[in-house]
């Protein structure tokens, strides 16, 4: 079962090429935190801008730089089932322990129960490591239903879901629809504490890139029953989380990483550079939240 806190790692670039040395440095710092592992090629990894060979090399590198024992999860879902299986298997050979498979989304109006069950079952049948469903409606405009997750949980190779919605009713419905050993993971740091309260097993959240300590602290305090402490940290994280996701996206997350002592750097085009005012706005929000001094 997948539990604990994971960063969906931002891919560092210098001059539009992957900066493996910066990746090594970031992971080296994250290795000092009590993280469960690393997610490569999630939404915040700018996966859609990477070439196939870059993806494989990225997984190999994260595996290599990662502290031993940490779980490597690779995001390999594409609309094409053939391409998903092929990329997944190459990624597994490069070191991935689990796959994070995005709901297919191009024909969003058709991505109902039967289509999603068909897609995930076919993929899960053909890959050699366990699959985690990845639901992120803000990017896919597809929102998998609890009954679909429940159906997919019957497949022995589908073992969890990362649900990147802030809707706690949906999260609770999913949790109450799947077996206890199916890992429901929170997908955004703004609802980590309520998500754990509803029975989530952990979280894969952009914010972990920039503020791993606070995210881990919510998780550990929750386990220890220190709910007031959880709520205190949670309240501080809501606005910074909005800044590095909804408001400014990956460029905002990378700017925050730069502020917090990690390497963020530039996003790949067509994502654009933030203006000085936008960076200042993020800085203020992080200061007010006492993440920055």
Q: Which residues are catalytic?
A: 162
Shortest Cβ 209–a copy of itself spacing (Å)? 16
Question: Alpha helix locations (H) across 3-112?
Answer: 20-30, 52-65, 81-93
Q: Does 239 bind a copy of itself (CB under 8 A)?
A: yes
Provide the 3-class DSSP secondary structure of residue 174.
helix
* Per-residue binder mask for a copy of itself (CB under 8 A), 146-175, x = binder: --------------------xxxxx-xx-x
Please state the closest distance from residue 24 (CB atom) to a copy of itself, in A.
23
- Please, which residue, 93 or 176, has the CB nearer to a copy of itself? 176
Instruction: Supply the DSSP symbol for 15.
Output: T
At 252, which helix (H) or strand (E)? helix 249-259
Angle between helices 81-93 and 52-65 (to 10 degrees): 30
* CA distances, 61 to each of 26, 50, 74, 89 (Å): 12, 15, 12, 17
Whichever of 8 and 37 has its CB closer to a copy of itself, that residue is 8
Residue from 15, 68, 69, 109 binding a copy of itself (CB under 8 A): 109
Phi and psi at 132, nearest 5°, equal: -110, 125
Site membership for a copy of itself, residue 281 (CB under 8 A): no
Distance (Å, whole) CA 285 – CA 188: 17
Binding region for a copy of itself (CB under 8 A): 43, 48-51, 78-83, 86, 104, 106-111, 114-116, 118-119, 122, 138-139, 141, 166-170, 172-173, 175-176, 188, 190-191, 193-194, 197-199, 227, 231, 234-236, 238-239, 241-242, 246, 249-251, 268-272
């Amino acid at each position: 079962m997948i539990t604990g806190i994971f960063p969906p790692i931002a891919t560092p670039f210098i001059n539009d090429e992957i900066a493996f040395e910066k990746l090594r440095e970031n992971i080296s710092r994250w290795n000092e935190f009590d993280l469960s592992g690393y997610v490569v090629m999630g939404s915040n990894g700018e996966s859609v801008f990477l070439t196939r060979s870059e993806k494989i090399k990225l997984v190999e590198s994260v595996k290599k730089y990662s502290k031993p024992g940490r779980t490597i999860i690779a995001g390999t879902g594409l609309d094409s089932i053939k391409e998903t299986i092929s990329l997944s298997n190459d990624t597994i050979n490069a070191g991935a322990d689990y796959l994070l498979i995005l709901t297919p989304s191009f024909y969003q109006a058709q991505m109902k129960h039967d289509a999603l069950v068909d897609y995930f079952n076919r993929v899960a049948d053909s890959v050699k490591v366990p699959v985690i469903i990845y639901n992120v409606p803000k990017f896919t405009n597809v929102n998998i239903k609890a009954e679909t997750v429940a159906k997919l949980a019957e497949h022995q190779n589908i073992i969890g879901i990362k649900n990147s919605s802030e809707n706690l009713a949906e999260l609770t419905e999913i949790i109450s629809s799947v077996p206890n050993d199916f890992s429901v993971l929170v997908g955004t740091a703004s609802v980590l504490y309520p998500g754990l309260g509803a029975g989530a097993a952990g979280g894969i959240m952009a914010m972990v890139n920039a503020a791993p300590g606070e995210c881990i602290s919510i998780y550990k305090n929750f386990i220890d029953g220190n709910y007031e402490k959880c709520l205190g940290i949670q309240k501080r994280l809501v606005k910074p989380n909005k800044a590095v996701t909804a408001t400014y996206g990956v460029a905002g997350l990378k700017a925050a990483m730069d502020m917090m002592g990690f390497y963020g750097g530039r996003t790949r085009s067509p994502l654009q550079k933030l203006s000085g005012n936008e960076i200042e706005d993020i800085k203020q929000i992080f200061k007010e939240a006492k993440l920055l001094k």
